[in-house]
Amino acid sequence: MSQSFAFRLVATAGAARAGEMTTPHGIVHTPAFMPVGTQAAVKGVHHDDVRAAGTEILLANTYHLMLRPSAERVAALGGLHAFMRWPYPIITDSGGFQVMSLAPLRQITENGVVFRSHLDGALVDLTPERAVEVQALLGSDIAMQLDECVKLPAERREIERAMRLSLRWAERCKRAFETAPKGRALFGIVQGGDDLNLRQESLRALGDIGFDGYALGGLAVGETQDVMLNVVAEIAPALPSARPRYLMGVGTPADILDAIARGIDMFDCVLPTRNGRHGLAFTRFGPINLKNAHHAGDPRPLDAQSGCPAARDFSRAYLHHLFRSGEALGGTLLSIINLYYYQELVAEARAAIAADRYADYVAQTKEQWLAKRDLHGS
Amino acid sequence: MSQSFAFRLVATAGAARAGEMTTPHGIVHTPAFMPVGTQAAVKGVHHDDVRAAGTEILLANTYHLMLRPSAERVAALGGLHAFMRWPYPIITDSGGFQVMSLAPLRQITENGVVFRSHLDGALVDLTPERAVEVQALLGSDIAMQLDECVKLPAERREIERAMRLSLRWAERCKRAFETAPKGRALFGIVQGGDDLNLRQESLRALGDIGFDGYALGGLAVGETQDVMLNVVAEIAPALPSARPRYLMGVGTPADILDAIARGIDMFDCVLPTRNGRHGLAFTRFGPINLKNAHHAGDPRPLDAQSGCPAARDFSRAYLHHLFRSGEALGGTLLSIINLYYYQELVAEARAAIAADRYADYVAQTKEQWLAKRDLHGS
C-alpha cells in the first residue's frame, strides 16, 4: 500500500507501447486488459480464477456500487479491496456512463447529473465532486473524472456541448481530487465523438489541467470499428507520452490488437465474460460457438496449448453439453477460458512490443484466427 | 483403473461404522458424503472445488444423462470420468427415482418403466437390464439396481407391490450385471416404505441375491425425520455388515449424523448446493441465511476456522451483497462453503468413530449449532 501511482514506458514498436504502471496495490504491465467486476464481482468467476488468468487490475462500476451496497458501506468495510478480497489494483469509472445507460430518469445540468436509482427509485445527485468522493470511499487505485458520453451518431453541436461540459467537470474533479488520499491516480477523459477537431481541443485542455492518465471516452458507443480506430489513430499519439492511455469499453480481440498498434495502453470490456456466458469462446483459432450442435461429439479440448486448464482439460463435447443442459458451470468455464485468452493476448503483445515485432505478432495472430477456422470449426 | 470394488470395516463406535471402499477409480473413506452432479456437473461448482472440499466420490443421475447427451455418446467420449474430467469414483443411480418424479408420462409394468422424455417427448424404455447397461456405458464405479420408489405416506398394499416388483427387478439387474466390466459394484435397494416387516423381507431377499452394497431407498420422500430414523435404526443393523450401506437422498447435517449413528456409511444429497444457491450456509454455528439484511454490514467471515478458503476469506457483508445483487458468484461460493462443511462433518465423524467417541462428537456438534446461534446470527 506504499507505492504512489507512476507510469514508465518500457518499450515501443511503432506507435505501440509497453509500460509499467505502479499503483498503491501493485504493478500493472501495459498493454493491460482489465476485466469488469461490475458489482464488485466478475460475473460468474471466482476472484482466484480472475487472478490466475493473469489479471493485474480489475474495473469496478461506481454507479452500481454507490447504489448498492453504497460507497459509505464499502468504506466502512475497509474499502473495495478488502470488501471483495481483491488485494490487487482496482480502477473505477465515474458512474456517469451508466447513469446515462441505466438510470430511468436523469437530468444533466452544469452542476452534475441527477437521476433515479434503477433499484429503488431514490433520487441521486452525482456531481464531479461526488464522483471523486465516491471513488475515494471505494478506495480505487485509479479514479475517472465524471464526464458526459454521447451515443454516436450525434449532431456536432451536441457532441461539442457534452465535450465542453466534460472539460469543466474535469477541472472540478481535479480540484476535488486534491483532498483524496495521496498516491492514487485520477484520469481525464477525452470526449468529442467522431469529430477530430473537438477531440484535439478536448485533449489539449485536459493536458493543461494535468492528469495521471488519459482515457478515450465516447467510443464503442454505436460507431463502426473504422471510425473508432480512426479516432484512436489520430488522438492517441497526441496524448502525453509519459502517461498511460486508456480506451474505455473496448473490445474484441481484434479491436484490442489494433488499438495497441495505435498507442493505447489499457482496455476494459465485458465481452470475455458476457460472451462466455452465452457459449462463445475466444481462442487462438478464432471465436468458437460451443452451442453449435457439431461440437456434441467432439473430444478435443478448445486449445491443448492454452495456459488455461479449462481450455486444455475439458472437451468441446463436455462444454457443449453444459450449455445444452443449462448448467451454469458452462458459462463459468468459458468466462475463465476467455479471460485467459484476453490476458494471453495482451501478455504476448507486451512481449512482441519489447522485441520490436508487434506488427508481425498482430499479423500472425489474425492469420491464425482465420487459417485454422476450417480445422477447428466455429 | 486396476482395483476391484471392495469394502472393509476400519472401526466401529456403537452402531456407527468407519470403513474404506475400494473402487476402480480410487478409495472412498466412509462415512462418505457424495455431492450430486446431476447432469455430469455439480451445479455452479468447478470440479476442482468439489474435489478440494474433500469429495472422494460423486453421484451422477442416470435419468438425465441417458436423455442428454445419452449413455452411448458418453461411452463414445470415453465414459463419464473422461467426459466430465472427474478421475475419481463415481456412483450412478438407476434412473428410476427421477423417472417417477420428472417424466411427464410413465407406465410401470413387470418389464420395466416406459416414459416420455421431459426434454423432447421421446418414448423411452427403462428396464432393469437397460438400467444396468446404461450405467455400464457411463462407466460408473457403483451402479444401482432399478427399483420402484413409492412416495410416503402410501397404502401398505401399494408399498408391498412396489417392494416385490423391486425385488424381481433386483434379480434381473444382478443377472444383467454379470456381463458388465469386472471390478465395478452393483448395489441392491431395500424398499418397503415405513413398514418394518416389508423392509425386513426386502433386505433378506436382497441378501440372498447378493450385492456389493445395500441402499435404503424410498426414504426422505415425505415422511417425518422420526419415521426415517426409525426405519434406519431397525434396518441398517440387519444389513450384511461386510457391505457398505447407503441412505439415498439424505440429508441435512443432523440427518447425516443421526443416520451414521444408526450404521449408515454413504449419503448423497443436493442440499449443500441447492441451499447454497438460495443463500443458506451450513456452518459449525448452524445454518446462516446470508440473505438476511442484518449481515449487510458484518465484516466477519462465516467461519474463520473453516478449512474452506471462501468461508474464511469473504465477509458476511460481501456474501450478502452478492445475493442482494443477483451475482451468481454468491451461490457458487456458498455451494463450495457448504460442500466443505458436509465433507468436514463426515471426516470428523470418521475420526470420532476411529477414536470411539462418536456419540460425544454428535452431541458437541449439535450443541455448537445451537449455542453459538445468538452470537453468529442466522
**Confidence check: pLDDT of A377 > 70:** no
What pLDDT score was predicted for residue B374?
53
Binned at pLDDT 50, 70 and 90, residue B173 comes out as very high
**Confidence check: pLDDT of B305 > 70:** yes
Among B296, B321, B328, select the one facing A328 at the smallest CB separation: B328
Q: Which of A205, A196, A187, A271 is nearest to A232 (CA)?
A: A196
**Confidence check: pLDDT of B222 > 90:** no
Dist. CA B2–CA B24, nearest whole Å: 6
Dist. CA A146–CA A131, nearest whole Å: 6
A167 near A208, Cβ under 8 Å? Answer: no
What pLDDT score was predicted for residue A96?
87
Dist. CA B84–CA B64, nearest whole Å: 14
Q: Provide the number of CB pairs (under 8 Å) joining chain A to chain B.
A: 99
Catalytic residue among B147, B255, B258, B268: B268
What pLDDT score was predicted for residue B91?
98
How far apart, in Å, do the first and last CA atoms of chain B sit?
45
Give A-chain residues touching B64 at CB under 8 angstroms.
Answer: 325
**Confidence check: pLDDT of A374 > 70:** no
Active-site annotation holds for B120 = no
B334 near B279, Cβ under 8 Å? Answer: yes
Among A147-156, B139-148, B168-177, B206-215, the range scoring the smallest mean pLDDT is: A147-156
A281 near A287, Cβ under 8 Å? Answer: yes
**Confidence check: pLDDT of B377 > 80:** no
Residues 6+ positions from A44 with CB-CB distance below 8 Å: A273, A276, A277, A328, A331, A332, A335, B328, B329, B332
Segment B120-140 shows an average pLDDT of 96
Dist. CA A71–CA A173, nearest whole Å: 17
CA distances (Å), B349 to each of B17, B52, B126, B237, B359, in order? 9, 18, 38, 18, 10
Q: Give the chain B residue nearest A67 (alpha carbons).
A: B325
| A168 in contact with chain B, both atoms CB, cutoff 8 A | no
CA distance B70 to chain A (A): 10
Provide the edge-to-edge strand list for the sheet that holds B106-108: B106-108, B113-116, B123-126
| pLDDT over 70, % of chain B | 98
- pLDDT single digits (tens) A81-107: 999 999 999 999 999 888 888 877 889
Residue A248, helix vs strand vs coil: coil
Residue type, A158: E
Burial class (CB in 10 A: 0-12, 13-18, 19+), B109: exposed
What pLDDT score was predicted for residue A375?
56
CA A319 to chain centre: 27
Q: Which of B262, B219, B189 is nearest to B17 (CA)?
A: B262
Give B-chain residues touching A274 at CB under 8 angstroms.
Answer: none
CA distance B331 to chain A (A): 9
Question: Which DSSP symbol is given to B52?
Answer: H
Segment B204-212 shows an average pLDDT of 98
Among A77, A318, A324, select the one facing B83 at the smallest CB separation: A318
**Confidence check: pLDDT of B373 > 80:** no
| B83 in contact with chain A, both atoms CB, cutoff 8 A | yes
Dist. CA B223–CA B194, nearest whole Å: 8
CA distance B361 to chain A (A): 34
**Binary contact (A332, B332; C-beta < 8 A):** yes
**Binary contact (B73, A317; C-beta < 8 A):** yes
Q: Which three cell numbers stand for residue B375?
A: 452470537
**Confidence check: pLDDT of A2 > 80:** no
**Confidence check: pLDDT of B16 > 80:** yes
**Binary contact (A332, B333; C-beta < 8 A):** no
**Binary contact (B333, A40; C-beta < 8 A):** no
**Confidence check: pLDDT of A1 > 90:** no
**Binary contact (A46, B297; C-beta < 8 A):** no
Dist. CA A139–CA A28, nearest whole Å: 17
Binned at pLDDT 50, 70 and 90, residue A371 comes out as confident
- pLDDT single digits (tens) A163-219: 999 999 999 999 999 999 999 999 999 999 999 999 999 999 999 999 999 999 999
Residue type, B84: M
Provide the edge-to-edge strand list for the sheet that holds B16-23: B6-13, B16-23, B26-30
DSSP-assigned letters across all residues of B181-213: PTT-EEEEEE--TT-HHHHHHHHHHHHHH--SE
Binned at pLDDT 50, 70 and 90, residue B151 comes out as confident
**Confidence check: pLDDT of A378 > 70:** no
CA distance A252 to chain B (A): 24
Instruction: Specify the pTM.
Output: 0.96
Strand partners, A301: A315
Phi, psi of B105 (to 5 degrees): -130, 135
Residue type, A149: C
Residues 6+ positions from A252 with CB-CB distance below 8 Å: A271
Q: Which three cell numbers stand for residue A258?
A: 489494433
Question: Which DSSP symbol is given to B238?
Answer: G
Give A-chain residues touching B321 at CB under 8 angstroms.
Answer: 39-40, 68-69, 83
Dist. CA B127–CA B148, nearest whole Å: 11
What pLDDT score was predicted for residue B376?
56
| B317 in contact with chain A, both atoms CB, cutoff 8 A | yes
Catalytic residue among B93, B141, B258, B298: B93
What pLDDT score was predicted for residue B2?
64
Mean pLDDT for chain B overall: 95
Segment B101-128 shows an average pLDDT of 91
Q: Which of A93, A78, A90 is nearest to A134 (CA)?
A: A93
- pLDDT single digits (tens) A24-52: 999 999 999 999 999 999 999 999 999 99
Among B46, B314, B317, select the one facing A332 at the smallest CB separation: B46
Give A-chain residues touching B332 at CB under 8 angstroms.
Answer: 44, 46, 328, 332
Question: Which DSSP symbol is given to A122?
Answer: -
What pLDDT score was predicted for residue B115?
94
